[in-house]
Structure 1
Amino acid sequence: MDESRKKKKSEPVLPWMRQPVDLQQFEELSLDLVPCLDPRLKAALEKISIRSLFPVQVAVWSETIGPGAFERDLCINSPTGSGKTLAYALPMVQQLSSRKITCLRALIVLPTRDLALQVKKVFDAVAPDVGLKVGLAVGQSSVEEEISVLIKKPKLDVGMSFDPEEYRKEVQCSVDILVATPGRLMDHIRATKGFSLRHLCYLVVDETDRFLREEYQSWLPTVLRLACLDKVENCYNAGSNAVSTIGQLRTFRRSGVERGFKDKMSPRLVKLVLSATLTQDPSKLSQLVLHHPLFLTAGHKRYKLPETLETCTLLCESKTKPLCLIALLHSLRGEKCIVFTSSKKRTRRLTALLKFFGEQPFKFSQFWGQQHQSRRSKTLDSFRRGEIDVLISSDAIARGMDVEGVRNVINYDMAPYVKTYIHRAGRTARAGHSGRCFTILRKNEFKRFKEMLLKAGEAACEAYTLPADLMDKLRPLYDSALAKLKELDVETKGLKRKKDDEEGYGPSVDDA
């Protein structure tokens, strides 16, 4: 037995993960048959053309509504495009609607603005119909604009004396549900008067494995601490040592009651953690301080691709890789595609090359993480509306983003890890629709790619062959575009050298 297999066998597995709820045992269920569903929610779902719930949504509903509702924290490991967002949104909204009081009771945290905007749209579709208000804290607008929506300030009557202390006490959250990114959430925790987590009932950590891998300003321990103390002010002033153990967290959380809810702690903070590639590392999962967790997953495989996904490979030489991509896009005849590259630089360079090809039978644009938010949003909207056929992107769009009608995913650069591949491939074949995932490979990459597919639970892949006459037809255009790109490189390098000289940097090692 080789060392890698020995290591895999010796990796610890948490006891509660050994006997999961198998999502494959559940079937799609008509809304008319969903037990205890609020008629207002049913009407809201039908308004957005949803007539039934997917298996993961049925499974979560059965564990959260009725007897034993939300008694356990939920860890959901379900393939991309299976409907995880509505799976947690629906039962949370139904439960929150039973209390007629406005204060921040549900917090959904996501790693990117684009994903947070998408999730808010899901809540906007169902929450207002049962009288709940949804807020957004992602840094898309100024802090002041967000505060004006999130915080309710008391009205001052003319002639009444002004008491600053009483005024400060009456400032409070004016939303029931908040969708946030970690950075802006921490801004409000630190500086926004009236922003309180003391009544928090639900915490959703979407794309959990990414959060547990990166620091994100230590938002998670901060939220857990604040949600488990009597007063935000006391906790914040106490600093990082306010809660040091899991036992203290459980001691601070008291059971709330319906009457006088604002002066009491909420019931136990329920946590829902989700990902298509949920980690099984005990040291990472321990950060979530889970209460008697229940693990829901699709089958016994750690990773699973959508069943309606077709996997294809395209072998080529390094020097003809861009030509193969363009020929592939021609052969797909305007179908909506996402082309993944390994970086922002690769995305921009490939986009520039495509522009030098001249008129194409498809419209394309680029997308990467460091673009201005308004630009990214505009590009995504155009892609959704069909004004753009091909989106060339870094992995900024790989996780969670849902764009209806994406027929193909093309890995121009092979995914570096199996998790990355799963998230990329998951942009197509969503919600039961079919889709294809192409990977353009050099010969020396094929073996590693096959190993990656096996980890993803996919043994077979189809070899895709491009028509020879199409390659011959496009080659002169490719040679011309490549020459123009090299000219642009020379020009750009010259401008950079000139700028460096003017600023006193001189030539770089690369220039030499």
Structure 2
Amino acid sequence: MSSTAPAGPSTSTSKQKTKSKQRYLKRKKERRKHRPKTATGNQDEQSDTDNEETEKKRDDVDDTIVDQAVEEQEPEHVTKTPNRPKKRPRLDEDEDVEMLEEENIEADEIDVSQEKPSTPEVLPALPSFPLPAHPNAPSKSVLALQGLDEALLGAELVSPSTTLSIPLGKDDGGTRLSERMRKRLRDLGITQLFAVQTALLPFLIPLDTSSQLYLPYNPPRDVCVSAPTGSGKTLAYALPIIELLSTRVITRLRALIVLPTRDLVSQVRETMEALCKGTKLKIGTATGQHSFSHEQSQLIQDQTSRLKGGSSKVDILICTPGRLIDHLVGTPNFTLQHLRFLVVDEADRLLAQSFQDWLTQVLAATRFQPQASVEDFPIPQSNQESCILDSHIPDGLSPTFLNEYSTIPSFFTEKKASSCQKLLFSATLTRDPGKISALELRDPKYFLVQETNKDRLEPDAMNVVMEKFSMPSTLKEHMLVCDSSQKPLNFFHLVHTYHIRNALVFTKSAESTIRLVRLFEFFEKEKSGRSTSESLVIRAYSSDLAPQERKMILEQFKNQKINILVCSDLISRGIDISHVSHVVSYDVPVDMRKYVHRVGRTARAGREGDAWTLVEQQEARYFKQMLKDSEHLERVKRLRVSEKDLAPLLPLYETALNHLKELYSRQN
């Protein structure tokens, strides 16, 4: 009994061992089939023999592992201890054996490899990567192109030396000007057109000037012009405006010229009136020099009735932006819907300063406002019978506005656009994408008057984008580096050594202007008392003066009754005084734009001129770098003055300086 009793369990255990071993061997064969080949590629018969011996040894090891695993699964032979940790719940004995077999596969392979090393697999080499590095910085031209108007790269470059003679007779000589206008220019002493005028007139003046006031279905392209100071930009837009508007029948506000200062408004009006002589065109100004009601009476014909078509007395309005907004908001029957030309002169300055957001309001006034309705346009009783088909269309509206209020069905699907053509002019025209986009330009055409590369017919992107300023070829530029305490003395030395007359002297503020004028007057008084030479006449011109006083001083300077005019940057833009032969920057300009506009007051219209800049020692590095960045340093010649040169004027300067100190001490 005792010898035969355990036969049953032993038989079942051997059966379980046989089934588990078979399943394990089956899976092992499948793994062997899918095992990747070695990189050597030389699996010959010797390796097969080694594998068979290895498999036999592994089978023996597997039998031992399976026997041990099955014995551990029998709970009858396990004695429980009280402190033994709990085991996880077991599932089936076959599953446990399989799990143990899988956990011991790696151990089996390690043991076999120790008995007989096999050929190692040759893995492919890892790819090598370069060390990280900073990318190359983009060039200035690439950075400047970010967001830039693509039309600027297609700008037309015009050589400053380009001219075109104005012929008499029926042949216009390519100028597109009428015979009357060409005769008028001859009477004014203008015999040829400059570069900017030669390029613009054929583009702005069509061959047939009739029916060119309203172009709702084919609006004209906008124009942006960058040309040096004194190159004739005023005449470039005045001639096309007068040529096209001279065909008008009814007076409407069709040309609006916006300028930054009152002095420029007066100067442009003089030019327009001289050119308009013999035509019926009427010119008006709005600057704030007169009362608001006076300007209203000069601009508007009827202020009592509400006429959405407007009631204008002038064809051309020249104004400052602030006063323009005042009339646009507060003057009855003042409208911009008939505008054919919108000229923004000195555009970079006007765009840099908001002026009550004038540009947005002006552009909105040239377009139809959809929130308006027909009921907003009352029709006088006398005109109701003449309304065609009882359409109640207000009289005097421009074609763009008229289309919106017409009740007559139209078969045209094309939308009407404003006929207003924007013309932008400046010696330093902005390239700022944000400011250019605010203009809402329509297919703009750019004209750049600057020196071109003879070897290249296409525009150079660097010159177009990086704002390369162009100076008149007849201008001579100088700079004098000195100590700040000796700057007035060096200025007096320049005036008397180089016979500087008919000169504009620019300072940084109105206070500096007055102080320099008083010091110079004391100096001249001392000099005239010690010598027989005639003293020079010097005057201050600043924003602190009344408009009438500024006008009187400017007239005296034009008549050469004043030798030197000391001013701030108030008149550094646009003012054209033909006899100015010298420009002195007593204080260094803060940027290249101001320098360009200052020195542009001389050497205008082909005349010669000199520009002098007094640079303090601490400002020399900045000033030279500013010129170098604009590739202009080579043109500015350095002037050296020694103490020996200043010695004769030193006693006079010290006496004048003491008088100035006494004057300011008494005032305080």
Q: CA deviation at 1:72?
A: 1.1
Equivalent residue in structure 1 for 2:481, among 311, 315, 320: 315
Cα 1:491–1:312 change in 2 (3 A) is same
- Are 1:442 and 2:442 an aligned pair? no
Cα deviations by residue, 1:122-158 (Å, 9 ceiling, x for unpaired): 111112322211111111222232223212249xxxx
Aligned residue for 1:27?
162
- Are 1:335 and 2:501 an aligned pair? yes
Kept in 1: contact 2:484–2:617 (CA 8 A): no
For 2:278, what is the secondary structure of its paired residue? helix
Q: CA deviation at 1:94?
A: 0.3
Cα deviations by residue, 1:473-497 (Å, 9 ceiling, x for unpaired): 221111011111112222222xxxx
Aligned residue for 2:383?
none
Q: In 2, distance between residues paired with 1:382 and 1:185?
A: 30
- Are 1:73 and 2:222 an aligned pair? yes
For 2:250, what is the secondary structure of its paired residue? coil
- Are 1:394 and 2:572 an aligned pair? no
One-letter amino acid of the counterpart of residue 335, structure 1: R
Aligned residue for 2:661?
486
Kept in 2: contact 1:102–1:174 (CA 8 A): yes
- Are 1:96 and 2:245 an aligned pair? yes
Cα deviations by residue, 1:361-401 (Å, 9 ceiling, x for unpaired): 32111111232111111111111111111111111111111
Of all paired residues, the percent bearing the same amino acid is: 36
Kept in 2: contact 1:45–1:125 (CA 8 A): no
Q: In 1, distance between residues paired with 2:347 and 2:284?
A: 21
Of residues 298-307 and 461-470 in structure 1, the stretch that sits farther from structure 2 once superposed is 461-470
- Are 1:84 and 2:224 an aligned pair? no
For 1:129, what is the secondary structure of its paired residue? coil
TM-score normalised by length of structure 2: 0.65
For 1:352, what is the secondary structure of its paired residue? helix
Q: In 2, distance between residues paired with 1:3 and 1:369?
A: 49
One-letter amino acid of the counterpart of residue 424, structure 2: V
Aligned residue for 2:149?
14
Q: In 2, distance between residues paired with 1:412 and 1:464?
A: 15
- Are 1:64 and 2:204 an aligned pair? yes
Q: CA deviation at 1:233?
A: 8.3
Cα 1:47–1:220 change in 2 (3 A) is same
Equivalent residue in structure 2 for 1:306, among 472, 485, 489: 472
Cα 1:16–1:266 change in 2 (3 A) is closer
Cα 1:379–1:430 change in 2 (3 A) is same
Cα 1:477–1:225 change in 2 (3 A) is same
- Are 1:414 and 2:565 an aligned pair? no
Q: In 1, distance between residues paired with 2:434 and 2:550?
A: 35
Kept in 2: contact 1:41–1:130 (CA 8 A): no
- Are 1:43 and 2:183 an aligned pair? yes
For 2:588, what is the secondary structure of its paired residue? coil
Cα 1:61–1:169 change in 2 (3 A) is closer
Q: In 1, distance between residues paired with 2:136 and 2:288?
A: 46
Cα 1:198–1:76 change in 2 (3 A) is same
Cα deviations by residue, 1:215-247 (Å, 9 ceiling, x for unpaired): 111111111111112699889x9xxxxxxxxxx
- Are 1:289 and 2:440 an aligned pair? yes
One-letter amino acid of the counterpart of residue 40, structure 1: R
- Are 1:176 and 2:323 an aligned pair? no
Q: In 1, distance between residues paired with 2:202 and 2:444?
A: 15
Of residues 335-344 and 450-459 in structure 1, the stretch that sits farther from structure 2 once superposed is 450-459
One-letter amino acid of the counterpart of residue 275, structure 2: V
One-letter amino acid of the counterpart of residue 555, structure 2: D
Q: In 2, distance between residues paired with 1:320 and 1:120?
A: 43
Please list every run of 5 or more consecutive structure 1 residues that lacks an aligned counterpart in the other structure: 155-163, 238-251, 258-264, 494-512
One-letter amino acid of the counterpart of residue 274, structure 1: F
Cα 1:475–1:412 change in 2 (3 A) is same
Q: In 2, distance between residues paired with 1:410 and 1:456?
A: 20
Of residues 69-78 and 269-278 in structure 1, the stretch that sits farther from structure 2 once superposed is 69-78
Kept in 2: contact 1:112–1:181 (CA 8 A): yes
Of residues 44-53 and 444-453 in structure 1, the stretch that sits farther from structure 2 once superposed is 444-453
Cα deviations by residue, 1:194-225 (Å, 9 ceiling, x for unpaired): 22211111100111111111111111111111
- Are 1:270 and 2:421 an aligned pair? yes
Cα deviations by residue, 1:64-106 (Å, 9 ceiling, x for unpaired): 1225988210000000110001001101110111222211000
Q: CA deviation at 1:466?
A: 4.8
For 1:108, what is the secondary structure of its paired residue? strand
Cα deviations by residue, 1:162-198 (Å, 9 ceiling, x for unpaired): xx647x6797111100000012111211222222211
Cα 1:96–1:485 change in 2 (3 A) is same
Aligned residue for 1:117?
266
Cα 1:282–1:184 change in 2 (3 A) is same
Kept in 2: contact 1:197–1:232 (CA 8 A): no
One-letter amino acid of the counterpart of residue 647, structure 2: D
Q: In 1, distance between residues paired with 2:662 and 2:137?
A: 47
Kept in 2: contact 1:418–1:455 (CA 8 A): no
Q: In 2, distance between residues paired with 1:101 and 1:463?
A: 59
Cα 1:228–1:170 change in 2 (3 A) is closer
Q: In 2, distance between residues paired with 1:429 and 1:59?
A: 21
Q: In 2, distance between residues paired with 1:401 and 1:4?
A: 43
Kept in 2: contact 1:305–1:458 (CA 8 A): no
Cα 1:146–1:18 change in 2 (3 A) is same
Cα 1:10–1:128 change in 2 (3 A) is same
Cα 1:25–1:138 change in 2 (3 A) is closer
Aligned residue for 1:347?
513
TM-score normalised by length of structure 1: 0.83
Kept in 2: contact 1:422–1:456 (CA 8 A): no
Equivalent residue in structure 2 for 1:477, among 638, 652, 658: 652
Q: In 1, distance between residues paired with 2:135 and 2:480?
A: 31
Q: In 2, distance between residues paired with 1:379 and 1:342?
A: 20
Cα 1:406–1:466 change in 2 (3 A) is farther
Q: In 2, distance between residues paired with 1:182 and 1:171?
A: 20
Q: CA deviation at 1:308?
A: 1.4
Kept in 2: contact 1:183–1:216 (CA 8 A): yes
Q: CA deviation at 1:346?
A: 0.9
For 1:365, what is the secondary structure of its paired residue? strand
Q: CA deviation at 1:464?
A: 2.4
For 2:356, what is the secondary structure of its paired residue? helix
Kept in 2: contact 1:339–1:391 (CA 8 A): yes
For 1:320, what is the secondary structure of its paired residue? helix
For 1:205, what is the secondary structure of its paired residue? strand
Q: In 1, distance between residues paired with 2:206 and 2:308?
A: 36
Q: CA deviation at 1:277?
A: 0.5
